[in-house]
Structure 1
Amino acid sequence: MGQGIGKTVRDVMHEGAQCIGAHESLRRASQMMRDLGVGALPICGDDDRLKGIITDRDIVIKCCAEGKDLDRTVAIELARGLVWVEARSSVEEALEKLEQHQIKRLPVIDQHRIVGMVSEADLAKELPDNKLAEFVHRVYAPA
C-alpha cells in the first residue's frame, strides 16, 4: 500500500490535462475523450482558465438521451461545478474534496492554471491500509 502521508496532489496527479474549449462541441469533447482514453475533460475558457468539467456520462445523459445535437451543443452548456484542488494540497485534502462533492476526478490548479487531473483511484492508492479502509467505507457504504 502507498505512503500517502506527506504527499501532495502534484505527486500523484496525471500531468498535462488537456482542456476542451468552452465553446467547442460535445462531438469534439467525445472525440477528445476517446483519443485521450479519459472519461472527463476540464473545460477552459478563452482566458485559459478553468470553467468546469464535463464527463462522458454528462454527454450521454444530458445530450444524447435528451435528443440534443452533439454538433450544436457546446461544452460550457453541460459544465458541472467549478471544483478543483491546488497542486500543493495533501492527498487527504483532495480525497475530502472528492467525498464532499461526490465526484471522482478533480482538475489540479497551480498559479491559476490547470496543470493536471487527479482521480479518486490515484489518491486512494496512496493511503495506508487503515485510512484506505476508512475512506472506502465512507464513500461506498450504504447511506
Structure 2
Amino acid sequence: MDTSGVAKTVQDVMHQGAECVGKHDNLRTAARMMRDLSVGALPICGDDDRLKGIITDRDIVIKCCAEGKDLDTTTAGELAQGLVWVEAHNSVEDALEKMEQHQIKRLPVIHERRIIGMITEADLAKELPDSKLAEFVHRVYGRA
C-alpha cells in the first residue's frame, strides 16, 4: 500500500465526483450518459439526491435489450440493483472486502449521506501489492 506506512482511505484513491442518472430517467438516457462519460456504470439517485442503486452497461443489455424491453420506457430505477457503498473515510482494505464480498468491480463512495465518487478495481489495483491484487482478482473473477 502506501510506502509511508499510513493506510490510505477510499477518498484518497477514488474517482472524484460521480454523475448520477435519475431513477425516473429512461435507459436510453443512462446509456447515453455512460457513452458521454466513458464509464460502464452509473449510480442511480432518487428525487432526494440520495443513492438508490447502481446500473451497468451490462444490466442494460441483459435486463432490457435481451429481454425485449423498450429503452425509452424502462427506467433506471427499475433496474437499480445492489445498494452497496463505502464511506469516504473507510480504508482501501474495507472497499476491497466489500467488493470481494459482493463480487462487484465498482463501488459508490458516500460522505455525509451523499455520493462523492466511485472506486473501481483499477483504483485498487494501483494501491495493492501484487500478491493482494492477485488474491482480489481470484476472489472477484473466480466466482463469476
Classify the TM-score, shorter chain.
Answer: over 0.9
Which residue of structure 2 aligns with residue 66 of structure 1? Answer: 67
| Partner AA of 1:100 in structure 2 | Q
* Contact 1:84–1:106, Cα closer than 8 Å, also in 2: yes
SS at 2:127 equivalent? coil
- Note the residue ranges of structure 1 that are not aligned, 5 or more in a row: none
What is the distance in 1 between the residues matched to 2:143 and 2:102? Answer: 17
What is the distance in 2 between the residues matched to 1:139 and 1:85? Answer: 17
TM-score by length of 2: 0.92
Which residue of structure 1 aligns with residue 111 of structure 2? Answer: 110
* Contact 1:43–1:50, Cα closer than 8 Å, also in 2: yes
| Partner AA of 1:52 in structure 2 | G
**Superposition map of 1:2-21 within 5 A:** 3=2, 6-21=7-22
Q: How many residues align?
A: 142
* Contact 1:3–1:128, Cα closer than 8 Å, also in 2: no
**Superposition map of 1:33-72 within 5 A:** 33-72=34-73
What is the distance in 1 between the residues matched to 2:135 and 2:54? Answer: 28
TM-score by length of 1: 0.93
Which residue of structure 2 aligns with residue 139 of structure 1? Answer: 140
Q: CA RMSD in A?
A: 1.7
Relative contact order higher in (CA < 8 Å, ≥ 6 apart) = 1
What is the distance in 2 between the residues matched to 1:133 and 1:64? Answer: 34
Which residue of structure 1 aligns with residue 125 of structure 2? Answer: 124
Q: CA deviation at 1:120?
A: 1.2
Per-residue CA deviations over 1:16-41 (Å, capped at 9, x if unaligned) read: 10000000000000000000000000
What is the distance in 2 between the residues matched to 1:104 and 1:34? Answer: 18
Q: Specify whether residues 140 and 41 from structure 1 end up closer, same or farther in structure 2 by C-alpha distance, changes over 3 A only.
A: closer
* Contact 2:104–2:140, Cα closer than 8 Å, also in 1: no
Q: CA deviation at 1:141?
A: 4.2
| Partner AA of 1:105 in structure 2 | R
What is the distance in 2 between the residues matched to 1:67 and 1:141? Answer: 30
What is the distance in 2 between the residues matched to 1:94 and 1:135? Answer: 11
| Partner AA of 2:52 in structure 1 | K
Percent identical among aligned pairs is: 77
